[in-house]
Amino acid sequence: DLPKVPENFRLGLIVGPSGSGKSTLLEQFGNVTDHVWHPDKAIASHFISAEEAAEKLSAVGFNSVPAWLRPYYALSTGEKFRADLARTIGDGVVIDEFTSTVDRTVAKACSVALRRYADKKELSGIVMASCHYDIVEWLQPDWVFDASTGQLSGRGLLRRPPITLDILPCSSKIWPIFSKH
């Protein structure tokens, strides 16, 4: 069972190996959306407007405008993943198998871009499940539940402490000490 997660969050993440119950836990937050892609239409045509297509495709790190003009079946696995994600992102969505079908470079770019977009648009309640632990660092979710250990951590809620810096006037004679830096 999933412990009580924070009420207000942007991104939550359930991680764990295959068979650890991630998909079942994800169901507590809603249903995964499956998208139908028309085989004769460009992927950008599946959005309400060209502006929405550009915004959401860029939001998931899919920045190849020529690829936006191809049909879904003509995309690479990584491009398909990002196109599906672009059509999904919004408040309260659930995403299963997040980054499980893509290489780690795509996973990193997509995770960073998604976090940035969620913050910019003030999205909330997005929950993902993944077998990859490396995305925690890149996605910076507000909470992480490890299905294999049963541990909930508030990684995203823990912020780095502020750094206090005192700048003091000094003599120019001290410059040789700092010049190599």
119/170: higher pLDDT: 119
Q: For 1-24, what is the mean pLDDT?
A: 89
> Which amino acid type is present at position 138?
W
In this predicted structure, what is the pLDDT of residue 157? 44
Contact indicator for 13, 135 with CB cutoff of 8 Å: yes
Q: In this predicted model, what pLDDT tens digit does every residue of 106-162 receive, in sequence order?
A: 899 899 999 999 999 999 999 999 999 999 999 999 999 999 999 998 854 445 556
* pLDDT confidence bin for 164, thresholds 50/70/90: confident
Q: Where are the alpha helices (DSSP H) in 21-180?
A: 22-26, 50-59, 65-68, 77-88, 104-120, 135-139, 175-178
Q: In this predicted model, what pLDDT tens digit does every residue of 45-91 receive, in sequence order?
A: 999 999 999 999 999 889 899 999 999 999 999 899 999 999 999 99
Report how far residue 123's alpha carbon sits from residue 20's, in angstroms, rounded to the nearest whole number: 28
In this predicted structure, what is the pLDDT of residue 170? 82
**How many CA atoms are closer than 13 Å to the CA of 142, on its beta-carbon side?**
16
Sheet holding 11-15, edge to edge: 94-95, 126-130, 11-15, 143-146, 151-153
Radius of gyration of the chain (CA): 20
Q: Which residue from 129, 123, 163 is spatially nearest to 145, judged by alpha carbons?
A: 129
* pLDDT confidence bin for 27, thresholds 50/70/90: very high
Contact indicator for 23, 96 with CB cutoff of 8 Å: yes
